Amino acid sequence: MSKFWSPFVKNLVPYVPGEQPKLSKLVKLNTNENPYGPSPRAIAAMQAELNDSLRLYPDPNGERLKQAIADYHGVQSSQVFVGNGSDEVLAHIFHGLFQHGRPLLFPDVTYSFYPVYCGLYGIPFETVALDEQFRIRVEDYARPNGGIIFPNPNAPTGCLLSLEAIERLLEANPDSVVVVDEAYVDFGGETAIALVDHHANLLVTQTLSKSRSLAGLRVGLAVGHPELIEALERIKNSFNSYPLDRMAIVGAAAAFEDRAYFEQTCRQVIASREQLVGELQRLGFEVLPSAANFVFARHPGRDAEGLAAGLREQGVIVRHFKQERIRQFLRITIGAPEQNQVLIDALAGLC
């Protein structure tokens, strides 16, 4: 069939997601899912929606969800965009919000989807090296660009950039759209949403896949100036005006309304992370400071790819990247305490 492929499709380098194994007895610490389930209120809201109303199309604007997000973050619903996972929100951003005459800038070690979108939408890009400690240096982004994007905390490093540094970046780049991808912000970061009223070029994206434990529902969002949000709506409506189904709208809205469950499960993940960092250090690992629901760690005396393979043989899967600068690191999702213990016991036998 490939004889029918255009050169464009032949040249695409698609994103390769982390493995989703069928065997439930594996300890799965490779794709940063949440070990705790979604809010019981979110599940109840979706169960209540499972009725005859499904014959009707959903609200094309997802207003119920936008309002819940706006209330949670203290913004107007006209400042909120929702989509099918933050990957789809990012796809719309890449499709229409960056200037193509100059390169998009993002860190050399970051979410590997960014260069994929650049390939898909024909966006020129340049990567900016992280510093020696794997941190983003905002001063290095003071060069001509058609936009800037980075996760905060960064992935897969987990390192956090301060709001004060983000503000300096925004001020130095008033004519560029700056996207802060906050997929992991709830595990110890501070959201840049507080800055959107003062910076019309800032767009903040978040997901319900991590801190709200709804990766399977596929819901993501962006918050920014109403003009940027309107641009995203125009792009979205040029594909399909119904990005979210009825279940996703009510389930995600209920998840935002259940603050207590969200805060409690985030606290548990953070406490487990701190414990896991201590255990990894005791085994001789160097662990980058993490504000996310994963840690990025290397062992001075052990090859990371070998460790990942050894863990896999014992039923534990973690993420290893082949990129040269980080190939001695493992990215390990924070699991439930008993999963983290299985990981540590397995590593103890390997280190």
Which residues contact ligand PMP (rule: CB under 6 A)? 85-87, 111, 151, 155, 181, 183, 207, 209, 215, 220
Cβ distance to ligand PMP smaller for residue 127 or 341: 127
Task: Let me know: does 243 contact 61? Beta carbons within 8 Å.
Answer: no
Cβ distance to ligand PMP smaller for residue 254 or 347: 254
Cβ distance to ligand PMP smaller for residue 90 or 170: 90
**Closest CB 164 distance from ligand PMP, rounded Å:** 21
**Closest CB 189 distance from ligand PMP, rounded Å:** 12
Backbone dihedral angles phi then psi of residue 349, each to the nearest 5 degrees: -75, -15
Cβ distance to ligand PMP smaller for residue 49 or 88: 88
**Closest CB 155 distance from ligand PMP, rounded Å:** 4
Task: Let me know: does 29 contact 318? Beta carbons within 8 Å.
Answer: yes
Token pair of 209 as six digits: 């896949």
190, burial (CB in 10 Å: exposed 0-12, middle 13-18, buried 19+): middle
**Closest CB 238 distance from ligand PMP, rounded Å:** 20
What is the C-alpha separation between 241 and 101, in angstroms, rounded?
Answer: 29
**Closest CB 182 distance from ligand PMP, rounded Å:** 8
**Closest CB 156 distance from ligand PMP, rounded Å:** 8
Amino acid at 4: F
**Closest CB 154 distance from ligand PMP, rounded Å:** 8
**Closest CB 89 distance from ligand PMP, rounded Å:** 8
Cβ distance to ligand PMP smaller for residue 222 or 231: 222
Cβ distance to ligand PMP smaller for residue 49 or 87: 87
What is the C-alpha separation between 302 and 195, in angstroms, rounded?
Answer: 43
Cβ distance to ligand PMP smaller for residue 138 or 155: 155
Cβ distance to ligand PMP smaller for residue 169 or 185: 185
Cβ distance to ligand PMP smaller for residue 77 or 86: 86
Token pair of 25 as six digits: 């007895």
**Closest CB 3 distance from ligand PMP, rounded Å:** 33
Beta bridge partners of 151: 181
